[in-house]
Structure 1
Amino acid sequence: MPNPLLEMNGLPPFHAIRPEHVEPAIDTVLAENRAAIAHLLQQGAFCWDTLLAPLEALDDRLSRTWSPVSHLNAVMNSDELRAAYNACLPKLSAYATELGQNEDLYRALQSVRDGAEYERLSIAQRKHLDNLLRDFRLSGVTLPPEQKARFKAASEELSQATARFEEHLLDATNGWHVLITDAQRLAGIPASSQAMMRQAARREGQDGWRIGLDFPSYFAVMTHADDRALREELYTAYSTRASDQGPQAGRWDNGPVMERILALRHELAQLLGFASHAEHSLATKMAETPQQVLGFLRDLATRSLTMAQGELEEIAAYAREQHGQAELAVWDINYYAEKLRRHKYDLSQEDLKPWFSADRVVAGMFEVVQRLFGLDIREVTGVQTWHEDVRFYDIFDSAGSLRGRFYLDLYARPKKRGGAWMDECIRARRLPDGTRQTPVAYLTCNFTPPLDGKPALLSHDEVQTLFHEFGHGLHHMLTRIEVAGVAGISGVAWDAVELPSQFLEHWCWQRAALDLFARHHETGEPLPQELFDKMWAARNFQAGMQMVRQLEFALFDFRLYLEYDPQQGGRIQQILDEVRAEVAVVRPPHYNRFQHGFAHIFSGGYSAGYYSYKWAEVLASDAFARFEEEGVFNRATGLAFMEAILEQGGAREPMELFVEFRGREPSIDALLRHSGMAG
C-alpha cells in the first residue's frame, strides 16, 4: 500500500493521510536517516557539501514527514491519530538524542569548524554550524556513557509527558459542557454568541444552548452573562481543567504530569552541568542570567503594580456603587470591567465587532503588509486542506517572486486545540539543484465561526491575535536565508522570536490601517471617527492589570524552573501563591488550578521562557516607535524592517539585527508609553 507521507514532493496530501500511515512512515524515514548518516561518516575528510548539506536534507525530509502529522493531531484530533502520534514520540526523541550524542558526527562537524573552509562559509552557514555544535553539547555529546544513556531515557520520557499534559488539557476542555434550556439564563450574552451555543447544541442533537470550555464560549459568558451563578459555574469548570479540583476532579489530572516534567527537565539540566532548567533554558536566549530575567520582570512589576491596584479598586467601586455588588468574586471581574468600559468610554467589545468581519480583516491585513513591505498575497484554490474552512495563499514580493505560502485556519471547532499559533509546514532552504525551497506556514486561530449565513465577526482583541500570528508567519516566510537551520524563525533566540508578531499588532490601532478593513459588515461604512476615538481612549483600559497578569505568569514559570529541588518536588502551588502575593492584584479561590492548563510552559516551548513575551514586547514597541517617527506606512522604513528583521532569520544575533534597524539598542520607554505607564 503506498504511503502518502513517504511520497511528498510538494504540499502535504491531507486527504490521503490516515493514522495507519504515520508509524510506518516515521520508522522508514528514521531507518533511512540512520543509514545515511553512518554512510556520511565513513568519509575521510568533511566539508559543507559532503556533511552539512546532506544532513540538512535528511533533517528536512523527517521534518516534512512529521509536520502534517503533528499539525493534524492539533487541529483534527482523533483517538486513532493520537495513538499513532504518541507511538512515534519516543522514536523521534530517541533519534534526536542519539543524533545529538553521536561523537563521530560531533567530531566531524568540529573538523569543519576548525578547518580552512570555515572562513569561506557564508554568515548563515557559520551561524548554523556554531549552533549545531552548541546543540550537540546541550544534547550531552560529551557525557560519559552511563550519563548519556540516562539523558536519552529522560528525554524520551519527557516527550511523552509533555504530550500527555496536552492531551489531558484537550480532553478536559472537550469533556465538560452545560446545556441551558431557559433563555433567560443567557441574558446579556451577545446574540452571535448565543447562536454559536445553539448551533453547538444542535450538533449534539440537543434542544437549547450548549456552552463548553472552548474560549469563545467561555469568554462570552465571563464577559457578558448577567447570570452570576452561570459565570461562577463556568469559571469553576474552566479554572480547574485537568486538575484534582472542580467538576472533573481527578479525571485528567495534570498534577503528577507536571511534577514529572519538572523533575525530568531539572535532571537533564543537571546532567549537562547547569544548576537548573532555567539556566539551561538561557543557553539559547538573548537574556544571559536568571538574575537579569528576574530583575527585568520585577522592574516592570514595580512600574505597574500601583496602576493595577487602582484599576481593580475602580472596578470594585463601580460594581458596588452602580450595581449594588458588595463583594467582587473573580467571576465578576471581567463582567463588571466590561460594564465599566461601557460606562467610561461608552464602548463595549461587542460594539466593534460589526466593523470587523473576518474576511474583510484578512484582506485588510494583506493590504497593510502590501503597503509596508510591497507584498502581494493571492488566494490559491484547489489545494488539499484538512477542513473545508481552511484557505491557502501565496505571497509574492514587489519583484513578483514567490516568497512563501500559507494555510489559514481561523475558526474554533471540536477536536481542535485551543489558542492561536503559527507553525512550520516547510522550511526555506537551497536545494541541490540550486533552486530555493519555498517556505510554507500553518496559521491557526480559534475564532467564532460564521453562523446562519452571516459572516464571522471578530472582536478587536481577535483582530490583534490574527495580526500577531501573521507576524510570526511573515518571519518564517519572508526569510532570505537559505540554510534551513537559521532560516525564518529557526535558530532565532526564543526571547526575540515574538518581535515580528508583537510588532505587527500595532497596526490594529492605527487609523490609516483600520480604514483599509474596518467597515460595517452590512452597510460597508467605515469605522466612525467617534467609535475610533472611544477605542483609542480605551486602549489602555486595565493595562496595569494585564501587565501584572503577564508578569505573574512569567515569574511563576521562571521561579518554578529556577528553584526546583528534587528533595521538595515542584512546590508548584506554593511558588504560584508566593508570586501572586508579590505581583498579582486578583487573588483566585483556593480551588483554582490555572497551572494545570498552562500549556505554554509544560507542553509548549516556553518553559523558563514565558518572560520572552514581555522581553520581545520591549523590542516590538521600540521598533514600532520608528514608524511613529517616520510614518506608519513609510515604505522605506517598512523595507528596512523587512531587510533587517524578517529576512535575516536566525543567521545573526537578534541584538545586532535590532541595532541595524533602530540605530541603537532597545529602550523600554516606548513600551511604557504604549501601555499608558510613561512617567
Structure 2
Amino acid sequence: GTTRCYQRKAWPPRNPQPERVVLENEGQRGFRELQLRRQKQSEVYAREAASTWRREGSPLPESSPAGPLYSQSVAHGDNPLLSRGEFLKYGYVVPEMFERALKKLAFDSEDNWLILADLLAKVEDKATPDFLEPMQLQMDEVDLVWREITHVKDVVDGSSSCESAWRLSREWYVGLRQQFRTSDAFIPALRSILRHPESGEAQRRAAALLMTQFQIATPELFNRYVADEGEDKKIQVMNTKAWLMNLTEQWEINVARSRVEKAILVRNRTELEGLPQFAMEDAVAAARGRGYARATSAGGPWLVRMDEAGVGPILRHASDATFREHVHQTFARIAFKGGSGHNDNTPILENILANRREFASMVGQPSFVDVVMPLRMATQRQVFAFLQRIRRSGMPVAQRELAELRGIAASQGAQDVDQSDLAYWRERLLEDRLGLREEYVREHFPLPAVLEGLFGLLTRLFGVEVIEAPDDVDVWDEHVRFYRVREAATGEAVASFFLDAHRRHGQKRPGFWVHRIHDYSELRRHGSRHGPRRPAVHVVCDLARPGEDGTPALLSMDEVARLFHTVGLALRTLLSTQPEGFVAGTNGLELDAVAIPAHLLARFAYEERTLRSIGRHYKTGDALPEGAVQMLAKSRTFHNAIPTLRRAAYAQIDLDLHVAYDRQDEMTVYDVVKLIEAQFSVIPPRVENHEVCSWPFSDPELAGGTYADLWSEALAADVFSKFEDAGLDDDAAVGE
C-alpha cells in the first residue's frame, strides 16, 4: 500500500482526492504541481516586492529576467536576512523585511519537508542516522533568521513598528516549527535512529530529544490519547494550544507596556537623597530617552525605570523611606490592576493556568509540568524536596539576618524593617561590617580592566584567548565590540561573539542575556577555506555607558558578577565542537543544567585571584587594596539567606500553580501565592503586592521551571569545589 505523509494546506488539488498527497505511486505528478505552485507564488512575491523596492533602497536591476520568476534578492527587496555572509549587516535591516523573510522560508521549507517526508515514507522504520542531517539543515536556516529578527527587535530597533513586525513574523516562525514537529512522518524514522547500530551517542540523544519535542507538540500525544476520540477532540486540543499562544503573547505585551507606563518621574530632588552620582546620571539619561531633553543631574527631572537597573539603586541607597516604599510597591504591581484597565495580567494568569491544565488533561497527563518535565534533569519529587530543604535550612539564618537588619535600623532611628527596607539596610550593614561602599568599589572596576581579567580567566580555565577584531564586522552601535576566540596554544579559530555591554534608553531592552547567532556545524561552512562553521553569539548586558569625557563604564561588584554570569551562559555555545547540530551547544540540554557554567564563572568572580586581576582604579591605575579584595570575596554570601529564600518561594509558586492549582477551588491563584510566600519569608508578605503578574509565563517549555536557576547554582557549587580541591593557585591543576 501507499503511505500518506504530507499535509497540503495552501493549495487545492487539481481533482478530488484525499487531503494528503500520495507520494509512493504518484510522486512525479506531485512534484509537477509543486513547480506550478512555485511559479504562481513567485509572481505573488514579485508583486509584493514591487511596492517596497524604492522604500528599502533596492532598485530593480536592469538584468532581471522579464518573466514572472525573479531571483531571491530581487523578489524580496535584497533582504539581508536571506542573503548574508558570516554575520548579518544590521544597519540594512528594516522591520518590513521580517515577515517576508519567513514567508520565503515557509514557501521553500514546505517543498523541502515534502521531499524529506517522501524519502522517510519509502524507508519507513529503516531510517539511518544520516536522515538527521537534512532535518538539521532545514531547521538551522529557519532558526538562524528568527534569532536575528529577535536580536534586531531587542537591541537595534526599539520602535513600536519593529515590535509589531516581530509579532507578525513570530506567527510564521511558530508555523514553521509546527510544520516539522507535527508531521507524524518523522516519528518512525526517529525510532529507527534510536535503535540503529550505527547511531552514536549524540545521534541517539538527538533522536530522543526530537521525540520528546514531538510529544510536546502533540503528534505523539494525539496517537496515544486522542486518536480514538474523533476529529472533534483533536480540533479541541489544537484550539487550546492556539488560545494559549494568544494569552502568553498578550501577557508579554502587558508586562512591557506596564513597565513603561509605571515609570516614576521625579521632580523633587529631596526624594533621591542618598542616591550615588552614577544612579542620578542614569535616571537623567532615562528621562532624556523619554523626551525630557533638558534633564540634568543637578536639576532633574529624573526617571526611575521599572526594571532591576532602575529600581535597584533606589532601594539600596535612597534615604527617604516613603519614596522607597512607593518605588517598591510600584515595581511589585507591574501588569496588575486587579482585573480592570489596560495592560492588566490579573485575569490572564488564571486563564493561562486553566488552559494549560485543560491541555494536560486532554493528552492524558496529570499536570502541564508532566508534559514538559522530560526536558529536565530533575523529577518533580526531587525539585519539591530540594526547595523544602532550602526553606528548612534557610529560615533560621534569615531570621538572624533580619534581627541584624533591625538592629542597625534601630541604631539610626528607624522604627522597623519592612519589605521595601531590606536592600537599604543590608547595604548599610555591608558598609559597616565590611567597609564596602558601592561608589568606592565601582571606581576600581572599570569595564576594560574587568574584561581583561575575565578573558584571562577564560584562558586559565579553558586554554582559549579572546581577541578584539573591530574591523571584521559591521556593528549597530559605536560601543558594541566584536571578539574572536582562538586556541591559545595553536591560534586555531574557536568561536566569535558580539559584546553589547551598555544600555540605550528607548532602543535596547534592559537586562543581561545571550542570543545565539549560530551553533557549531560541519554541515554549514563559511567558504571552503574556513572549514566548519564556528559558533557565534551576542552577549548583551545592561551597564552604564562610558562618559562623554572618555571615562570608562564603572561596575559594581554585583554587575561584575552578572557580566561573568552572562559570559558563562555563552560558554556552552562558544566552546562546543559537537558535530550533531541538534545537541550542539545548549540544544537538547536539560533546562536545569543550562546555567551551570554561568554560575561557575560568577563564582570565580568572587575568587581573590580574579578580584586582583580585575580591580584597578580607573584614574590612577592603582590595584584594588588587599583588604578590599578579602572583603569582596566575603560579600558573596553576606546576608544572602533572605534573597535565596525569595528565589525558592518563586520556584515553589511556579511549581504549585502548574501542578496542583485548580481555579475551581475556593482559593484564587493570588491566595496560593501569598500562602507560599509566607512559608518562605521572615517578613509577612503584603497582600497588595503581585510580582507574579510580571513573571515570564510566555514560554510553555519553562512552565514550572523557575527552580532551574537554583538547581544549576547548586551543581555549580559542586563543580567549583573540585577546583578548590585541586588548588585555585595551581594553574596546571585548574586547567586540567
State if a TM-score over 0.5 links the two structures. Answer: yes
Alpha-carbon offset, residue 198 of structure 1: 2.6
- 2:164 aligns to what? 83
Q: Is this contact kept in 2: 1:201–1:210, CA < 8 A?
A: yes
Q: Is the 8 A contact 1:22 1:84 kept in 2?
A: yes
Query: What is the aligned partner in structure 1 of residue 173 from structure 2?
Result: 92
C-alpha contact 1:443 1:470 (8 A) present in aligned 2 = yes
Query: Quick one: structure 1 residues 355 and 151, their matched pair in 2 at CA, closer, same or farther if it must change by over 3 Å?
Result: farther
**Match of residue 351 from structure 2:** 260
User: What SS class does the counterpart of residue 138 from structure 2 fall into?
Assistant: helix
Secondary structure of 1:6's aligned partner: coil
Residue type matched to 2:313 in 1? A
Letter in 2 for 1:212: V
Is 1:38 aligned to 2:128, yes or no?
A: no
DSSP 3-state at the match of 2:686: coil
Q: Structure 1, residues 637-666: CA drift from partner, whole Å, max 9, x if none? A: 5555xxxxxxxxxxxxxxxxxxxxxxxxxx
Cα deviations across residues 472-499 of structure 1 (Å, max 9, x unaligned)? 1111110120111101111111111111
Stretch moving more, 45-54 or 349-358: 45-54
1:95-106 counterparts in 2 under 5 A? 95-106=176-187
Contact 2:607 2:633 in 1 (8 A): no
Q: Residues 149 and 632 from structure 1, CA distance in 2 versus in 1: closer, same or farther, beyond 3 angstroms? A: farther
Cα shift at 1:222: 1.0
Give the alignment of 1:513-592 within 5 angstroms: 513-565=610-662, 567-568=664-665, 571-592=668-689
Q: 1:412 aligns with which of 478, 503, 518?
A: 503
Taking the aligned partners of 2:304 and 2:215, their CA distance within structure 1 comes to 46
Report whether the alignment pairs 1:388 with 2:484: no
Q: Deviations over 1:292-344 (max 9, x none)?
A: 21111101110111100111122122212x12111223222211221122122
Pick which of 491-500 and 223-232 moved more.
223-232
Q: Deviations over 1:415-436 (max 9, x none)?
A: 4333211121111121167942
CA displacement 1:147-201 (0-9 Å, x = unmatched): 4444444334333433332222222222233343443332211011112223333
- Matches of 2:519 and 2:469 in 1, distance apart? 20
CA apart distance, 1:633? 5.4
1:422 to 501, 514, 522: 514
CA shift at 1:386, angstroms? 3.2
SS, match of residue 65 in structure 1: helix
- Flag the 1:527–1:554 CA change in 2: closer, same or farther, 3 A: same
Structure 1 residue corresponding to 2:571, chosen from 456, 467, 474: 474
1:587 match: secondary structure: coil
Query: Is the alpha carbon distance of 1:205 and 1:530 closer, same or farther for their aligned partners in structure 2, counting shifts above 3 Å?
Result: same
Match of 2:589 among 492, 512, 517: 492
Contact 2:274/2:319 (CA < 8 Å) preserved in 1?
A: yes
What amino acid is the match of 2:438?
Q
1: CA distance between counterparts of 2:477 and 2:666? Answer: 43
User: Aligned AA for 1:125?
Assistant: Q
Residue 340 of structure 2 is aligned to residue 244 of structure 1: no
CA, structure 1 residues 442+266, in 2 after alignment: closer, same or farther (shift >3 Å)? farther
Cα distance in structure 1, aligned partners of 2:730 and 2:691: 43
Task: Select 1:304's aligned residue among 383, 394, 397.
Answer: 394
Greater Cα offset, 386-395 or 524-533: 386-395
1:205 counterpart letter in structure 2: A
- 147-156 or 36-45, which moves further after superposition? 147-156
Task: Tell me how far apart the structure 2 counterparts of residues 89 and 4 of structure 1 sit (CA, whole Å).
Answer: 18
Q: How many residue pairs were aligned?
A: 632
1:561 positional shift:
0.7
Indicate if the aligned counterparts of 2:661 and 2:669 stay in contact, CA closer than 8 A: no
C-alpha separation in 2, matches of 1:511 and 1:279: 43
% of aligned pairs identical? 25
Measured against aligned partners, the alpha-carbon deviations of 1:1-29 in whole angstroms (never above 9, x if no partner) come to: 22111112321221111110111111111
**Aligned counterpart, 1:618:** 714
The equivalent of 2:66 in structure 1 is: none
Contact 2:515-2:538 within 8 A present in 1 as well: yes
Instruction: Say if 2:317 is the partner of 1:224.
Output: yes
User: Structure 2: how far apart are the matches of 1:299 and 1:391?
Assistant: 43
* 2:135 aligned with 1:55: yes
Q: Give 1:541 shift.
A: 1.6
Stretch moving more, 148-157 or 347-356 = 148-157
SS in 2 for 1:15: helix
Deviation at 1:630, TM superposition (A): 1.0
CA contact (8 A) 2:497 2:539 kept: yes
Match of 1:672 in 2: none
Greater CA drift, 545-554 or 562-571: 562-571
Q: Aligned pair 1:18/2:94, yes or no?
A: yes
The residue type paired with residue 38 of structure 1 is L
Larger RCO: 1 or 2 (CA < 8 Å, sep 6+): 1
- Matches of 1:348 and 1:535 in 2, distance apart? 11
1:158-557 alignment to 2 at 5 Å?
A: 158-203=244-289, 204-207=292-295, 208-213=300-305, 214-244=307-337, 250-288=341-379, 290-320=380-410, 322-382=411-471, 383-398=473-488, 399-415=490-506, 416-431=508-523, 435-453=531-549, 454-557=551-654
1:622 CA displacement: 0.8
CA contact (8 A) 1:222 1:331 kept: yes
Q: Secondary structure at the match of 1:275?
A: coil
Report the counterpart of residue 71 of structure 1 in structure 2.
Answer: 151
Paired with 2:100 and 2:581, the residues of 1 have a C-alpha distance of: 26
Cα deviation for residue 84 of structure 1 reads 1.3
Helix, strand or coil at the partner of 1:244: coil
CA gap of 1:99–1:83, structure 2 versus 1, over 3 A, is: same
Corresponding residue for residue 202 of structure 2: 124
Q: 1:638 to 1:602 in 2, by over 3 A?
A: farther
Mark the structure with the bigger radius of gyration.
Answer: 2
Is the contact made by 1:94 and 1:156 (CA closer than 8 Å) also made in structure 2?
Answer: no
Deviations 1:495-538 (A, max 9, x none): 11111110111211112112221111111111101112222343
How many Å apart are 1:634 and its aligned residue? 4.3
**Unaligned 5+ residue runs, structure 1?**
641-679
- Over 3 Å counting, the alpha-carbon distance change for 1:5 and 1:536 in structure 2 is closer
1:5 is aligned, of 77, 81, 84, to 81
Contact in 1 for aligned 2:128/2:193 (Cα 8 Å): yes
Residue by residue over 1:236-280, the C-alpha shift from the partner in whole angstroms, topping out at 9 and shown as x without a partner, is 2211111116xx983311222322322333233333322111222
Q: Is the contact made by 2:565 and 2:598 (CA closer than 8 Å) also made in structure 1?
A: yes
Query: What corresponds to 2:20 in structure 1?
Result: none
Q: In 2 relative to 1, CA 425–604 (structure 1 residues): closer, same or farther, beyond 3 Å?
A: farther
Q: Find the aligned partners of 1:436 and 1:279 in 2 and give their Cα distance.
A: 38
Distance 1:34 1:148, change over 3 A: farther
SS at match of 2:592: coil
| Residue-by-residue CA offset, 1:398-443 (whole Å, 9 max, x unaligned) | 3222111111112223243332111211111211679422111111
CA distance in 2, matches of 1:495, 1:316: 36
In 2, Cα distance between equivalents of 1:148 and 1:480: 41
- Give the TM-score of the pair, scaled to structure 1: 0.88
Deviation beyond 6 Å, 4+ runs, structure 1 = none
Per-residue CA deviation, residues 585-633 of structure 1 (Å, 9 max, x unaligned), is 233432211111112x445863211111121112100111111111225
Aligned-pair distance for 1:384?
A: 2.3
User: Secondary structure in 2 aligned to 1:250?
Assistant: coil
d(CA) in 1 for partners of 2:666, 2:469: 52
